[in-house]
Amino acid sequence: MNSVPNPRVLIAEDSSRIASFIVKGLTAHGFSVAHISDGAKVIPELMNQEYQLLILDLGLPNREGLSILEELRGTGNTIPVLVLTARDSTETTVASFKSGADDYMSKPFSFEELLARVQARIRQSTADSSRESERPSIVHGEISLDLLSRKVTVGNATHELTPREFLMMEMFLQNPNQVISREQLLDRVWGYDHDPGSNVVDVYVRYLRKKIGPEAIVSVRGLGYKLS
C-alpha cells in the first residue's frame, strides 16, 4: 500500500526499453508515472509539475544526471531522488550521495527491489512532510520562523539565523506592525550585557533585512523599528 494516493513519479531515463519496463510496473502498482529522456528537460518538468519521487539515470543526453541533482539540491528542492545507473563504481555511488541522492541502484536491477525502494522513499518523504507541518512556527505574511531549527523562510527562500538574529526576528514576529524600541530589542536580545549607546541593534536589523527583504523591517524615526 502506498503512503499517498496515486503518487507521481518522474523517470529520467534515455533507454526507452528500461523506461517502458519501469513505467508499466509502477503504473500496475498504482503510481502515476511520467517519462523524460532528455536531461535538459528534467528540472523544467519538476518546476511545472508536482512529483513525489524522481528516478534519475546519470548518463542522460544534453545534461548529466549529477549536474541535475546538484542544481535541485542547490535550489532547495527536496524531492526524493533514486539514482538508477549502469555506473556501479564506488566513486559514482559516493558522488551521487554527496550530490544529494536519497537512494542508489545499479543496472541491471530487480523490479521488486526497485518497487520496494520507491515505496519506502515516498513513505519516508510523506512522514517527514507531516512532521514538518507540525513544527512550531510563527508566521506573518510570507515570513515564517521555525522555532526548532531557528530558520526563517520568506516565500521559497530559507535562511539560517544566528542566535541573536533569531531572538530579534522572534520579537518582531510576535509584535507585527508594532513599533519596538532599540532599548526593548537590546533588553530582549542582549540582556544585561548591552551598552545603551551601542548601534548593534541597527547592525542586526541590517543583517535581517538582507535575509527577509529590505522593506520588511521599517525604521520609525526616533522610536525604533516595526515589522511591516
41-99 pLDDT, tens per residue? 999 999 888 899 999 999 999 999 999 999 998 888 889 999 999 887 888 999 999 99
What's phi and psi for 50, nearest 5 deg?
-95, 125
Q: What is the DSSP string of 142-156?
A: TEEEETTTTEEEETT
Q: Give the E-state strand segments of the chain in sequence order.
A: 8-12, 32-36, 53-56, 81-85, 103-106, 137-140, 143-146, 151-154, 157-160, 217-220, 224-227
pLDDT digits (tens, 9 = 90+) for 9-21: 999 999 999 999 9
Cell 546538484 found at:
70
> Residues 43, 65: contact at Cβ < 8 Å?
no
Residue 140 amino acid letter: H
Question: What pLDDT does 220 receive?
Answer: 93
**Cell (9 digits) for 217:** 523591517
> Residues 181, 223: contact at Cβ < 8 Å?
yes
- List, in order of start, the domains of the chain with CATH numbers: 8-133 (3.40.50.2300), 137-227 (1.10.10.10)
Question: What pLDDT does 78 receive?
Answer: 86
78: number of Cβ within 10 Å: 13
Strand partners, 105: 84
Cα(85)–Cα(176) distance, rounded to whole angstroms?
51
Question: What pLDDT does 42 receive?
Answer: 96
1 band by pLDDT with thresholds 50, 70 and 90: very low
Residue 180 C-alpha from the chain's centroid: 32
Cα(58)–Cα(73) distance, rounded to whole angstroms?
16
**Cell (9 digits) for 58:** 546519470
pLDDT digits (tens, 9 = 90+) for 126-168: 766 655 555 688 888 899 998 888 899 998 899 999 988 999 9
Question: What pLDDT does 124 receive?
Answer: 83
Question: What pLDDT does 116 receive?
Answer: 93
